[in-house]
């Protein structure tokens, strides 16, 4: 009788362990889903990229963002030696930061000088010139968007 009780317990334990193992294997059968690989932008030969190409790329990013639709003529983008200068006026600090990020994200840009203002100013100060109805750095080219 003692042997039968132990035998029943062993069989019961083996059966339960087998069921747990089968359940675990069934769940482990599905492979984890790997995220789709993100395509990295093709590397650009910067020796073939002009400052005009850089300005156009940045302007295209700004124009594509509907938040800036009514501010395009207030934003000037210029580039000299792949150093981008942003001049003009935007609505709020967040807009200034976003446009700065757009400029930095363009390939071949060495650095960005973000002179965008969030305040309306009257008249150009020393070292500035008029570009449309905004003041820009005297060294920058006038490239306001339409």
Dist. CA 146–CA 143, nearest whole Å = 9
Task: Tell me the per-residue pLDDT of 5-37, one tens digit each, with 9 for 90 and over.
Answer: 777 777 767 676 666 666 666 665 455 556 666
Q: Report the predicted TM-score, pTM, of the whole model to 2 decimal places.
A: 0.68
pLDDT digits 0-9 by tens, 86-139: 999 999 999 999 999 999 999 999 999 999 999 887 788 898 898 888 888 888
- What angle (nearest 5°) sits at the alpha carbon of residue 32, between those of residues 27 and 38? 165
Which domains does the chain show, CATH number per domain?
47-137 (3.30.1340.30)
Burial class (CB in 10 A: 0-12, 13-18, 19+), 115: middle
């Amino acid at each position: 009788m003692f042997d039968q009780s132990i035998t029943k317990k062993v069989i019961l334990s083996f059966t339960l362990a087998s069921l747990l193992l089968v359940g675990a294997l069934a769940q482990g059968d599905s492979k984890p889903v790997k995220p789709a690989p993100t395509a990295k932008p093709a590397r650009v030969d910067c020796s073939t990229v002009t400052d005009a190409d850089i300005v156009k790329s940045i302007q295209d990013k700004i124009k594509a963002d509907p938040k800036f639709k009514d501010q395009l003529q207030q934003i000037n983008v210029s580039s000299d030696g792949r150093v981008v200068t942003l001049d003009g006026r935007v609505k709020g600090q967040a807009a200034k930061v976003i446009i700065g990020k757009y400029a930095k994200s363009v390939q071949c840009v060495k650095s960005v000088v973000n002179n965008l203002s969030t305040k309306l100013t009257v008249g150009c100060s020393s070292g500035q010139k008029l570009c449309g109805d905004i003041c820009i750095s005297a060294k920058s080219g006038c490239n306001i968007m339409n």
